[in-house]
Structure formats: C-alpha cells, structure tokens
Copies of this chain bind each other. A is one copy, B any other.
Amino acid sequence: MSLPLQDLLVLDLTRVLAGPYATMILADLGADVVKIEMPQTGDDARAFPPHLGGESAYFMSLNRNKRGMTLNLKSAAGKEVFFDLVRRADVVVENFRPGTMSRLGLDFTALQAVNPRIIYAAASGFGHTGPYSGRAAYDAIVQAMGGLMSVTGQEGGPPTRVGTSIGDITAGLFTTIGILTAVHHRAQSGVGQMVDVAMLDSQVAILENAIARYTVTGRVPAPIGNRHPSIIPFETFATADGSIMVAAGNDLLWRKLCAALETPSLADEPDFATNPQRADNYATLRPILAARFARRTTAAWLALLDQAGVPCGPINNVAQVLADPQVRAREMVVKVDHPTAGETTLPGTPIKLSATPASVRTPAPRLGEHTQEILRDLLHYDAARIATLEAAGAF
C-alpha cells in the first residue's frame, strides 16, 4: 500500500507533546520520521507514567510509526552525523525553547547552508519573535494566557483548564499544516523555509468566534457552562441515570423534541414557540425540560431522540468512547504490538484518505533502536566509521 508522504524524510528533534504530535501525523501519513534523542535519557516523555513493560504509555502513543536513533548534538561527532542527515532530509522539526538550536550551531541558517531545500519547523511556547520569545511555556500557561480558560467552565464559576493539552495539540496541528505548505511551495520554488509556530498564537487562532463577539459588542466573554449562548435548548440535562447533551438547533427540531418528550403542546405555547421566546423565558422553560428528562434513562432518551431526528449524544467517559460503535467502525482505536510492552491501545488517525490511507504500522521505537540501521542503510557509513563515531560519543 502506498502512503501519501512516503517520499519525505523528516528529522525529528521534538520532545514531549506539541512537536511529537506533529511528527506523529506525518509518520501516520507515511513520512520516514527519524526521531533523534539524547543518548541515555531520550525524550522527557519516556519518564512519564504510567509505564508498561518499561515503556511510557504516553510516549508510546505519540511516537508510533517513527524510527528512533540517539545522537549527542552537543558533541562534534554527533553534529557531523546530524549534518549528514540534514543533507538528505526534507524536513527538520524541533520544539526547543528559542535560542537552543542557535547555541548548538544548528539553527535554520546553519542547516540551510548545507541544504537549501531543507524545511525547518519550530514549535515553541511563544514563538521565535516578540518580547516573550525566550520564556518557557507549558500547556497550562498558554491555556491561561491565550484566553481559552476564560471562556471555559460552569456559569459563574472559575476559568477552567481544558482537560487535554489543547495548547500543545493545536500547535502541533498548525505546525503540520505549515510543514506541508512549505513542502508544496518547495516543489515550485526549489527552496525550503522556516515554519515558526507558537502555542500562544495557536490559542488565539482557536478563539475566533469569541474575538468577533468581543470586538463588535465590547462584552468580554465568560464561561457559560454547557449551554449555547443563544440557541435554546442546546445543553446538558440530567436523566434518570446520568446525563445527555441535546441540541435543538432550530424551531423545527424544537417541535420534534417536544414530541419525543411526550409533551407536544409545549412546542406551541406562546412563551416557547420560537427561539427568541425560549431565550426570554429560559428560566421557566429549563425546569420543565429538566423534569421531563429526569423520567427516563440516558439510553432510553437517546433512542427516542435519535428516532425523532433530534441531535443528541451521551456524555461519554474515555472507557465509553473506546467502546463506541462509531468510534470502532472508524478505526479510531487501534492496537499495536510492542516488543516489551506487548499489545498497546492507541488512537487511530482521523484523516481518512480514500486512495492512500494513513495507518499505524509500527510501535514507538525503543531508545536508539534504529541508530545502527540509519547510519548503515541511510547514510551508508561503514563499520569502521560507525565505531569511530561511537568512540567519539556521537550516539
């Protein structure tokens, strides 16, 4: 099976989450991603619990489909190997704090000098320009600074951090888009360029609707819990055994909902017939609907509302997500065998391509697993040269 990015060689210096997420997508789509780690320690995420057969589950989920080698980029011998790799590579990706690659003598200018076609992608907390450029960031810091927390949470409650590292992940996604764009441009121009993506910028980019609302109205958006700011009912209700999300996006769906709730006359009451009326009388309407939903289980309501064509869904926990028939049918849960950790469960790829589908083919590399193979087969070093480099502390 051919893979759509199989002609791309990516040198991956990334650690932890934002960078590895970008290179994981490229690897899933077939790029030859060579993950380069410090000897002995490797990616910090190798130490993140929980572990399985000595391997971090966190690390394994982000580094499948990649090859792994060690290289001490602080040593002259390690740099020599790295520059040889850069001569052959299409893309270099790193997520160090800005300045780190310059101190190593490995910034974009240095790499471009040996390979004018190289694409250099840097994901960082605040970006490679601006007053905060040199500062360290974590996901929680950029979620706080970027405004996402200020619009997330229960109504009247505190700003709330999103429970997944959306600051890292969106930066990884924008980095991937930047890399593929630069690859496309290079096919025309013959030259590479630098892709500079900041976690903070990425947070601003995903606020869009909140920015539009604020700049036009002057009202600063605040958390409003699980309901829609202007469409009613479009929110969570407690059921007899849990809860349900219901989204009656227009007046027709409202009528269908009332029928499914076995109170069709509610739809025609003058206080509730149209969305503006429901908004004006929300305080009266909410308890009426809440009392209805309390009468049956979530499963019963889901069946009734699905049949009625009213958009709805359960509030699934992670165990329920992994068991969901649609998630299963879309191959969003995949298994891969790891030599020491055994069978591990990983998320699949959400990019479904008809002719050249992405896939999970290999487990994450053990530290330095492919060092010899890459030096021998990709760089064509002979045994004597490999031994000399090893003695010089290259890997």
Contact = CB atoms under 8 A, between A and B. Distances in A.
A113 interface: no
Copies of this protein in the complex:
2
A160 B153 contact: yes
B317 A150 contact: yes
Contacts of A344: 215-216
A287 interface: no
A163 B311 contact: no
Interface string A11-54: 00000010001000100010000000000000000000111100
Interface residues of A, number: 147
Contact of A193 (B57, B221, B356): B356
B210 A318 contact: yes
Given A195-B352, A226-B160, A350-B198, A216 B57 contact: yes
A104 to B, nearest CB: 19
26 contacts: A49-B230, A50-B212, A57-B213, A60-B212, A61-B208, A132-B325, A136-B311, A140-B234, A141-B313, A147-B316, A147-B320, A149-B226, A151-B163, A152-B164, A160-B160, A161-B225, A161-B226, A162-B162, A169-B170, A170-B173, A174-B350, A177-B177, A183-B184, A193-B354, A200-B332, A208-B346
A132 B326 contact: yes
Interface stretch (A122-130, A373-381, A383-391): A122-130
A363 to B, nearest CB: 13
A212 to B, nearest CB: 4
A152 B185 CA distance: 39
Given A127-B326, A144-B313, A205-B347, 12 more contacts: A4-B185, A130-B325, A132-B325, A140-B228, A141-B313, A151-B164, A153-B153, A161-B226, A184-B184, A193-B353, A193-B354, A196-B353
A4 B183 CA distance: 9
Given A195-B351, A212-B60, A324 B145 contact: yes
B207 A321 contact: yes
Contacts of A158: 154, 226, 236, 243
A289 interface: no
A351 B153 contact: no
B62 A208 contact: yes
User: A-B pairs with the 3 shortest C-beta distances?
Assistant: A151-B163, A130-B329, A193-B355
Nearest to A147: B321
A236 B311 contact: no
A148 interface: yes
A349 interface: yes
A214 B344 CA distance: 11
